[in-house]
């Protein structure tokens, strides 16, 4: 009898644990499931920034901005770590324990490892990988950094033979040592983003374009019909564990960011296509294969607003879609993933690229830069980080940092940090912690 009671109490405790796991916490929703999520509000926003010649030191840099409204540094630049030179800073992400931040340069394929864990207010550059192209056997343009236990998967955008779109996925261990290269399949040779749904053992990759295009002036490229032929039109479904491609999906128009649904019974992902301005649903069918379906337009596709980044809320309800050329964010209710419903739209700036929402969804951050040679010119070349509050209906401005005025550069990728997490402190914001933890400590 005594044992039965004990078992019941433990089962009840397990239910409590499960329910607590959906409590509001702060983090972007697109992180690898293997990267720990931080608890409570974010203290810092990290922005991987492209240098601009003649502005400040002109170098690519990791910029840290205060995001805790109770502190004096709220909305201000706290620190900036330059890597020396311009390398087309683009995407970046944390490793599997969130203590290191890997950041890539699309032009010369440099990779920088920053120590975030030692002092989250002042990241330090601790290692530079200069041999990505040589290590990988010719992959160029490290884009997505995706943490797996003990290692990172890094997607490429190009190759060193013709600087076209044929590319691969490269694995490094957490120490920055090369493991292996997986070339994209012949019939879907282009690459861009990579995301895994462990529950299904499925990995999705998308496709963009090669160095010849992403390092070319945007206007010139648009006017070159031959160049416009060299964009990706496919996504690949992989066996994630075996790293074997198992299905190629036709998704015309350069499918970019991939976002798996987060709820445990949702077997689908979203992407957006840059050139055709559509939301695509990638869904598992009853037979286990996947189907890709265009489920909605983004703005007026005839005007080519150029959808870039997307962000899916933790409850799989809201899909934020940024469009670069009109500087708009559109929020879709995707409760029915086959019928996205536009519920809000707002102009954020003259140009707009990345969007990152906190895990709880209360805060949404935006940056402005797409690529150094694709960003707008003159007065329209605004460079910013803008923070907004989101109440489920509208976005309300919180703060803005002008990256030109601050002599920083082109603001690109956004990630979050927190003192409590990196100091390994118990989250005081959670009401259930203190008593039980204190009991254990005695």
283 binds other proteins (CB under 8 A): no
Q: Which residues, 34 to 63, sit near other proteins by CB under 8 A?
A: 34-39
By beta-carbon proximity to other proteins, the closer residue of 314 and 319 is: 314
44 by DSSP, 3-state: which? strand
Q: Is residue 58 left, alpha or beta, with left meaning phi > 0 and alpha meaning psi from -120 to 50?
A: left
Q: Which stretch binds other proteins (CB under 8 A): 7-15, 57-65, 206-214, 365-373?
A: 7-15
Cα(108)–Cα(89) distance, integer angstroms: 10
Element (DSSP H or E) covering residue 415: strand 410-417
Q: Which stretch binds other proteins (CB under 8 A): 30-38, 61-69, 229-237, 340-348?
A: 30-38
Give min distance, CB of 116 to other proteins, in A. Answer: 13
Tokens 């805790």, residue located: 68
Q: Under a CB-based contact definition with an 8 Å cutoff, are residues 146 and 260 in contact?
A: no
Give min distance, CB of 348 to other proteins, in A. Answer: 27
71 binds other proteins (CB under 8 A): no
Give min distance, CB of 1 to other proteins, in A. Answer: 13
Element (DSSP H or E) covering residue 375: none
Give the total of residues touching other proteins (CB under 8 A).
Answer: 70
Q: Which stretch binds other proteins (CB under 8 A): 94-102, 137-145, 337-345, 367-375?
A: 94-102
By beta-carbon proximity to other proteins, the closer residue of 391 and 424 is: 424
Among residues 65, 40, 50, the alpha carbon closest in space to that of 387 is found at 65
Q: Which residues, 206 to 265, sit near other proteins by CB under 8 A?
A: 239-244, 262-264
Give min distance, CB of 236 to other proteins, in A. Answer: 16
Structure tokens at 439: 């009991």
Q: Under a CB-based contact definition with an 8 Å cutoff, are residues 132 and 125 in contact?
A: no
Q: For strand 290-297 and strand 307-312, is the pairing parallel, antiparallel, or unpaired? A: unpaired
Locate all alpha helices (DSSP H) within 151-306, ordered by sequence. 211-214, 218-222, 225-228
Give min distance, CB of 138 to other proteins, in A. Answer: 18
Q: Under a CB-based contact definition with an 8 Å cutoff, are residues 90 and 375 in contact?
A: no
Q: Under a CB-based contact definition with an 8 Å cutoff, are residues 205 and 197 in contact?
A: no
Cα torsion 366, 372, 376, 382: sign = positive
Of 306, 314, 334, 413, the residue at the interface with other proteins (CB under 8 A) is: 314
- From residue 390 to residue 429, the character string flagging contacts with other proteins as x (rule: CB under 8 A) and all else as - is ---------------------------------xxxxxxx
By beta-carbon proximity to other proteins, the closer residue of 177 and 250 is: 177
Of 69, 175, 217, 228, the residue at the interface with other proteins (CB under 8 A) is: 175
118 binds other proteins (CB under 8 A): no
CA 366 to chain centre: 12
335 binds other proteins (CB under 8 A): no
Cα(91)–Cα(93) distance, integer angstroms: 7
Q: Which stretch binds other proteins (CB under 8 A): 83-91, 147-155, 203-211, 291-299?
A: 147-155
CB atoms within 10 A of CB 25: 20
Give min distance, CB of 382 to other proteins, in A. Answer: 34
Burial class of 163 by CB neighbour count within 10 A (0 to 12, 13 to 18, 19+): middle
Site of interaction with other proteins (CB under 8 A): 3, 6-7, 9-14, 16-18, 20-23, 25, 33-39, 96-97, 99, 148-151, 171, 173-175, 177, 179-180, 198-202, 239-244, 262-264, 314, 423-430, 432-433, 436-442
């Amino acid at each position: 009898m005594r044992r039965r009671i004990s078992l019941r109490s433990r089962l009840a405790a397990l239910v409590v644990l499960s329910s607590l796991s959906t409590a509001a916490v702060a983090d972007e929703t697109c992180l690898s499931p293997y990267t720990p999520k931080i608890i409570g509000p974010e203290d810092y926003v990290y922005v991987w920034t492209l240098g601009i010649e003649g502005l400040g030191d002109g170098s690519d840099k990791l910029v840290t901005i205060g995001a805790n409204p109770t502190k004096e540094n709220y909305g201000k630049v706290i620190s900036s770590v330059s890597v020396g030179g311009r390398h087309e800073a683009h995407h970046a992400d944390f490793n599997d324990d969130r203590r290191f931040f890997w950041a890539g340069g699309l032009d010369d394929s440099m990779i920088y490892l920053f120590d975030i864990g030692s002092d989250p207010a002042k990241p330090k550059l601790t290692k530079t990988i200069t041999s990505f192209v040589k290590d990988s056997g010719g992959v160029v343009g490290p884009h997505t950094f995706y943490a797996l236990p003990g290692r990172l998967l890094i997607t490429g955008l190009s190759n060193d033979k013709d600087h076209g779109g044929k590319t691969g996925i490269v694995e490094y261990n957490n120490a920055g040592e090369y493991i292996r290269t997986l070339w994209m399949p012949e019939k879907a040779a282009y690459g861009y983003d990579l995301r895994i749904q462990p529950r299904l053992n499925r990995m999705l990759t998308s496709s963009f374009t090669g160095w010849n295009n992403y390092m070319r002036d945007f206007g010139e490229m648009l006017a070159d019909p031959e160049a416009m032929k060299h964009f990706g039109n496919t996504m690949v479904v992989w066996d994630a564990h075996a790293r074997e491609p198992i299905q190629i999906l036709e998704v015309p128009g350069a499918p970019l960011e991939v976002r798996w649904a987060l709820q445990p019974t949702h077997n689908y992902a979203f992407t957006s296509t840059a050139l055709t301005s559509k939301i695509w649903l990638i869904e598992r069918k009853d037979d286990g294969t996947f189907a890709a379906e265009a489920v909605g337009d983004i703005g007026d596709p005839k005007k080519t607003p150029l959808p870039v980044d997307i962000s899916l809320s933790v409850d799989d309800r809201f899909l934020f879609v940024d469009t670069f050329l009109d500087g708009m964010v559109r929020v879709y209710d995707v409760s029915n993933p086959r019928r996205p419903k536009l519920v809000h739209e707002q102009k954020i700036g003259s140009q707009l690229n990345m969007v990152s929402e906190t895990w709880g969804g209360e805060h949404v951050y935006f940056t402005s830069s797409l690529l150094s040679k694709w960003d707008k010119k003159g007065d329209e070349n605004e460079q910013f980080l803008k923070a907004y509050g989101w109440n489920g209906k509208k976005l309300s401005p919180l703060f803005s940092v002008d990256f030109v005025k601050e002599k920083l550069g082109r603001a690109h990728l956004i990630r979050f940090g927190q003192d409590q997490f990196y100091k390994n402190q118990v989250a005081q914001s959670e009401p259930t912690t203190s008593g039980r933890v204190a009991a254990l400590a005695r």
